[in-house]
């Protein structure tokens, strides 16, 4: 084996940089967005895997670039991260991140002009977050906008059925609030403590927005809404008590996984089949299992 080959980072480094354990939540984001844009037929079309691959590339790119831009801060606060630990160079992480971002944008552009425009907005928002989230009090909202734009891009790729704009806007608002709430908690991770808990009230907004329609999805809709409520409550309780070291990153990882449950709530309210709703519950469980192998934060 050559000396160059021996210097290549281990596969685990690439997985950790991309926080790939969270990808099932990205896939359910896309599934929900495509369903909102075109219904059950769109969710079963050939467009779905293309959008999933493109948005997955954007997500992993955002995670890579986050580490690359944060390398100086991580050297002080999280020296175990791959770049400050010397497991991979910042130049390599930047190269991979920007290449994946371009690939993701190209994939969305293949799905039509509107999907390409939404993809450009997603890419721009990812870059704004990665470059300027330290010291930016609005950064949790920017991160929330990234996930909300996944809905918009996926719905655009599915054709955005007439009359569906209202449901899409409601879903995007709910997703923005959930992700903004968990991002606030994640910003405290290096300190392993939460300063003030009141921003976590954002996590209640999606439950309130869909509480009155939970029954419209039948038993599956009620069950997924209750599962989201329980998952959020357990995470917030863990954050409030902070009884053990690692409570903050553990709670944040659970809230990230719960993103898939919110996708199930959104689809149940839109009339999706119980099978699609259950797929979101399965994605939540899959994410929690994968987070044991690859840290989600």
Task: Spell out the residues 6+ positions from residue 6 whose beta carbon is closer than 8 angstroms to its own.
Answer: none
Q: How far apart are CA 119 and CA 210, in angstroms?
A: 27
Domain boundaries, the chain: 14-290
**Residues lower than pLDDT 70 in the chain:** 1-8, 161-163, 188-197, 242-245
Q: How far apart are CA 32 and CA 271, in angstroms?
A: 11
Fold for domain 14-290?
Tetracycline Repressor; domain 2 (1.10.357)
Q: Is 6 exposed, middle or buried (0-12, 13-18, 19+ CB in 10 A)?
A: exposed
Q: What is the pLDDT of residue 56?
A: 98
Q: What is the pLDDT of residue 189?
A: 59
What's the N-to-C CA distance of the chain in angstroms?
A: 34
Residue 112 contacts residue 47 (beta carbons within 8 Å):
no
3-state helix, strand and coil shares in percent for the chain, rounded to the nearest 5 = 80, 0, 20
Q: How far apart are CA 260 and CA 158, in angstroms?
A: 20
pLDDT tens-place string over residues 81-138 = 999 999 999 999 999 999 999 999 999 999 999 999 999 999 999 999 999 887 778 8
Positive or negative, the Cα torsion across 286, 290, 244, 180?
negative
């Amino acid at each position: 084996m050559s000396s160059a080959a021996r210097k290549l980072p281990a596969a685990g480094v690439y997985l950790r940089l991309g926080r790939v354990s969270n990808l099932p939540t990205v896939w359910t984001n896309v599934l929900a967005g495509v369903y909102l844009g075109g219904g059950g037929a769109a969710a079963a079309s050939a467009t779905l895997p293309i959008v999933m691959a493109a948005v997955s590339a954007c997500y992993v790119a955002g995670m890579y670039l986050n580490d690359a831009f944060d390398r100086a801060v991580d050297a002080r606060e999280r020296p175990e991260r791959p770049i400050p630990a010397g497991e991979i160079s910042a130049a390599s992480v930047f190269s991979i991140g920007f290449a994946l971002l371009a690939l993701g944008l190209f994939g969305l552009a293949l799905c039509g002009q509107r999907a390409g425009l939404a993809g450009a907005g997603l890419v721009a928002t990812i870059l704004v977050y990665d470059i300027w989230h330290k010291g930016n009090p609005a950064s949790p909202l920017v991160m929330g906008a990234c996930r909300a734009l996944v809905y918009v891009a996926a719905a655009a790729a599915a054709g955005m059925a007439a009359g569906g704009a209202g449901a899409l806007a409601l879903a995007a608002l709910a997703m923005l609030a959930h992700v903004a709430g968990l991002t606030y908690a994640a910003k405290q991770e290096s300190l392993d403590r939460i300063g003030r808990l009141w921003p976590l009230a954002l996590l209640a907004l999606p439950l309130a927005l869909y509480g009155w329609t939970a029954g419209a999805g039948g038993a599956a809709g009620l069950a997924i809404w209750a599962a989201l409520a329980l998952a959020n409550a357990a995470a917030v309780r863990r954050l409030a008590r902070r009884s053990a070291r690692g409570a903050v990153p553990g709670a944040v990882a659970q809230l990230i996984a719960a993103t898939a449950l919110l996708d199930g709530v959104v689809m149940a309210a839109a009339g999706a089949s119980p099978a699609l709703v259950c797929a979101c519950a399965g994605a939540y469980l899959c994410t929690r299992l994968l987070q044991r192998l690859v840290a989600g934060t």
